[in-house]
Amino acid sequence: MSSPGAGKTTLLETTIKGLKGRFRLAVIEGDLQTDLDAQRIRALGIRSHQITTGTVCHLDARMIARALTDFPLENLDLLVIENVGNLICPASFDLGEGLRVVLCSVAEGAEKPIKYPVMFHKADIILVNKIDLAEASGVDLSGLISNVRQVNPAATIFPLSCRTKDGFSAWLDWLQSSLSARSTAALVRS
């Protein structure tokens, strides 16, 4: 989840490129109009289902349940739900996700976590994107991270840049370890 333009789809593209071939991936895309983001994901050879919400500013569990009929979950290691770009509405709707990731761009300003605390408070992971633009945006990266910690001291935070790939390896390493641990746990339970 993130505001529009924070880099959700670019994050997905870069993450998919880093995981492809090692994990079975799929994406559910949520947008008000168009399937442009779903097309970008499909261009990487990844299955993507588009949910067009029209005037609704978020996805809800019923929308996800209908989309899940397109995905044999037993054949996936990771299903990502890219919610509609919005820092308010999506935070209030449980989609059944196992991990809630919020992406925040430094270009949005250091105050976003304290202005939109519900979104950040409910996150398991917070990715601070576009760190390469912090100076040009006049944003103090440490102040932004401090504001995240003020709202959610327990969240795991990864400062990164999808464009330059700075910090991206830490995110990918964490995600790969997490997926591998879940796969191992599933094998043990079987």
Average pLDDT of the residues of the chain: 93
pLDDT tens digit sequence for 42-60: 999 999 999 999 999 999 9
Separation CA 36–CA 100 (nearest Å): 23
pLDDT at 189: 40
How many Cβ atoms from other residues are within 10 Å of residue 58's Cβ? 18
pLDDT at 183: 65
| Total-model pTM | 0.92
Q: Provide CB contacts within 8 A for 46, sequence distance 6+.
A: 16, 20, 25, 26, 27
pLDDT value, residue 70: 82
Question: How distant, in Å, are the alpha carbons of 2, 22, 131, 132, 184 from that of 19?
Answer: 22, 6, 22, 23, 17
* CATH superfamily of domain region 8-179: P-loop containing nucleotide triphosphate hydrolases (3.40.50.300)
Kindly tell me the sign of the dihedral angle through the C-alpha atoms of 177, 175, 127, 100: negative
Which of 107, 95, 151, 108 lies closest to 132 in space, CA to CA? 107
Q: Cα separation of 167 and 171, whole Å?
A: 7
Work out the percent of the chain whose per-residue pLDDT is above 70: 96
Listed by start position, the domains of the chain span 8-179
Could you read off the pLDDT of 16-42 as tens digits, one per residue?
999 999 999 999 999 999 999 999 999
Whether residue 187 is predicted with pLDDT greater than 70 in this model: the reply is no
Q: Nearest Cα to 130, choosing from 151, 150, 158, 149?
A: 158
- Whether residue 127 contacts residue 104, with contact meaning beta carbons closer than 8 Å, is answered with yes
